[in-house]
Amino acid sequence: MDENLIIVKGDYFQHGSAACINAKLKFYASGLIFVELDNNTSFSINKDEISITNRLGSLPRELTLPNNDLIVIESDSLVDSWLSDGKRDISFFERSPKAVIASIMLVPLAFYFVFAIAIPAMAIAFAPAVPEWVVKQTTQQSMSILERTSLEPSKIDENLQNELKTEWQSLLYEMKLDHQDFTILFRDSDTFGANAFALPDGTIVFTDDLLKLVNYDKDILTAIFVHEVGHVEQHHSIRLIAQSIATSVAISYFFGDISGIFEVFIGTASTITSNQYTQEAEWEADNFALEKLQQTGRNPLDFAAGMQKFSELAPEMSDELQILLSSHPLTEDRIQNALDFSESNLDDLTLYIQNK
């Protein structure tokens, strides 16, 4: 046999059909491929006219013809050398200790860059550009679900509700914000407990339990309200949605169809990543609230007093575990941040609360 001729067997698949036809291929040194099929047909084609998959371990090689027919052949050294014209291909990196060591170091760095830097940066840039109708539709769907499952009409005195709404609408005008349209709602909820949250379009919900927790203190409630305004003003909800979607897409792209314990691991990692994003957003909203309270002649210690009330509800767990699993920063850290901003200490806060 001519030493420049390589003969191999393969499987031939016509485009749009799952039927397999046995094939014999002859590779010539000139770059010509002669194909003989079991159905008594044959043809020749030049290597430059076909698309060839890179070598990956011992996986079969795929040759895609111009008409999208596919030929699958087993991988071996002679065939691989002929297909690559003797040039180094991607399979070289599988056998290179330096390349393996480099990948061990670079792959985690690449993941860190994607999930910790690129995706958050993308979300920050993307959030302000989201059309208003998308923001409103997202809020309407969210509120519809919450009203059906978790929220009930408020039992708080309507006069108090109206007083707070009037005061806060005046405060919104005073702060001169980019976002102008806010809706303030009071709801009763066993699910959310003592809580307040902001939706993307500026809807801010206070629960009855939160008002009870702070003994209906209007100053503390105002401080918490300004914190929620900070979430809206800085597009945190849309940013989190964008980050969540991008993270899911990235995980699917990098890891593909996975199952079992690895699937559990990915789910946990994604949850923790999302919580870290939320902690960052909480810090931004905290600082927004402290600055706006000071600018409008209010006392930033009201925010610290509110956090002090929340600390009474915090579950007993280690600080490290709280940081990892909580969607909010440590309450003690948030209190200290407010004290540092107002140039006060815990004794000042205690005295302030006692005098309210």
Q: What is the pLDDT of residues 225-263, one digit of tens each?
A: 999 999 999 988 887 777 766 666 666 666 655 444 444
Query: Mind listing the pLDDT tens digit for each residue in 58-80?
Result: 788 899 999 999 999 988 878 88
Do 85 and 133 fall within a single domain?
no
Confidence of residue 299 (pLDDT cuts 50, 70, 90): very high
Do 75 and 147 fall within a single domain?
no
Judged by average pLDDT, the poorest of 91-95, 154-158, 171-175, 322-326 is 322-326
CA nearest 234: which of 285, 280, 274, 196? Answer: 285
Do 138 and 284 fall within a single domain?
yes
pLDDT mean across residues, the chain: 82
Q: Print the domain residue range for 177.
A: 126-355
Q: Once rounded to an integer, what is the mean pLDDT over residues 10-27?
A: 92
CA nearest 194: which of 212, 167, 171? Answer: 212
Do 21 and 149 fall within a single domain?
no
Residue 14 lies in a domain: yes
Q: Once rounded to an integer, what is the mean pLDDT over residues 138-162?
A: 92
Cα–Cα distance measured from residue 59 to residue 66, given in angstroms and rounded to the nearest whole number = 22
Residue 100 lies in a domain: no
Do 220 and 313 fall within a single domain?
yes
Confidence of residue 22 (pLDDT cuts 50, 70, 90): very high
CATH number at residue 87: 2.30.29.30
User: Is pLDDT above 80 for 264?
Assistant: no
What pLDDT shows up at residue 216?
96
Query: 260-295 vs 301-311: helix axis angle to the nearest 10?
Result: 150
Residue 280 lies in a domain: yes
Q: Number of folded domains in the chain?
A: 2
Do 139 and 77 fall within a single domain?
no
Do 145 and 249 fall within a single domain?
yes
Do 137 and 42 fall within a single domain?
no
Put the strands of the sheet holding 32-37 in their side by side order: 42-46, 32-37, 20-27, 6-13, 70-73, 61-64, 51-52
Do 192 and 341 fall within a single domain?
yes
Do 174 and 68 fall within a single domain?
no
Contact 235, 243 (CB under 8 A): no
Do 39 and 150 fall within a single domain?
no
